[in-house]
Structure 1
Amino acid sequence: MKKILLIGVLYVCFACSQGKKQTAEVSCGQCQFGLTSQKGCDLAVRLDDKAYFVDGADIDDYGDAHDKDSGFCEVIRTAEVSGEVVDGRFKVNSIDLID
């Protein structure tokens, strides 16, 4: 019984540590959100009107960043994201594109 309780507690702790999912805008930090602290094209999220570069996912993980219709350097997309802001950067657990 103690093992089952321990497993349950560990599961709950792990699930809570993943961060709650929230809707955010996802795009290129430089091309679409005007971030200038890095050179080149890098993935960023905008939460509550503030943009953050993303750690844990790459801009090309979701297709060609420069695709005219869906690339992050060309359009801002909506996604369900989980993670947390740490030292001014978004440490991502997951990104699920909505559009």
Structure 2
Amino acid sequence: MNKILFLLFLGLMACSKPVSKEKEQIVEASCGQCQFGLKTQKGCDLAVRIDGEVYFVDGAHIDDYGDAHDENIGLCNAIRKAKVKGKIEDNKYKASSFEIIE
């Protein structure tokens, strides 16, 4: 009986997804559509580029950081640096903190 329970436990562990931990990092942030070329959503939405991959952001909005269409610093016209904390989940970046630093 103990062997069966042990094998069942090992099987469950092998099938479970690893839990992604939140990580603080510096990323590129901009409009996913205007600057990063994403086409899976309509309109202008905040996105980040991490290790060459681009993800839309949940937990922060493009308009939280000024006029997105400002000619010089708007996120639809410029790629900026951001200090973020969060994790990638379901092909989106789930942000618990998001701060434009440049």
Q: Does 1:82 align with 2:85?
A: yes
Structure 1: segments with no counterpart, 5+ residues: 1-16
Q: CA deviation at 1:95?
A: 1.1
In angstroms, what is the RMSD of aligned CA positions?
Answer: 1.4
- Other structure's SS at 2:38 match: coil
Q: Does 1:95 align with 2:98?
A: yes
Matching residue within 47, 60, 63 for 1:60: 63
Q: How does 1:1-99 map to 2 (within 5 A)?
A: 19-99=22-102
Q: CA deviation at 1:20?
A: 2.2
- After superposition, what is the alpha-carbon deviation per residue over 1:57-98, rounded to whole angstroms, capped at 9, x for unaligned? 110000000001110000000011110111100000111212
Aligned residues: 83
CA contact (8 A) 1:67 1:74 kept: yes
Q: CA deviation at 1:18?
A: 7.6
Instruction: Report sequence identity in percent.
Output: 59
Relative to the length of structure 2, the TM-score reads 0.78
Amino acid aligned to 1:64:
D
Q: Given the superposition, is the C-alpha separation of residues 18 and 63 from structure 1 closer, same or farther in structure 2, using an over 3 Å criterion?
A: farther
- After superposition, what is the alpha-carbon deviation per residue over 1:1-30, rounded to whole angstroms, capped at 9, x for unaligned? xxxxxxxxxxxxxxxx98221110000000
Structure 2: segments with no counterpart, 5+ residues: 1-19
Q: Given the superposition, is the C-alpha separation of residues 18 and 64 from structure 1 closer, same or farther in structure 2, using an over 3 Å criterion?
A: farther
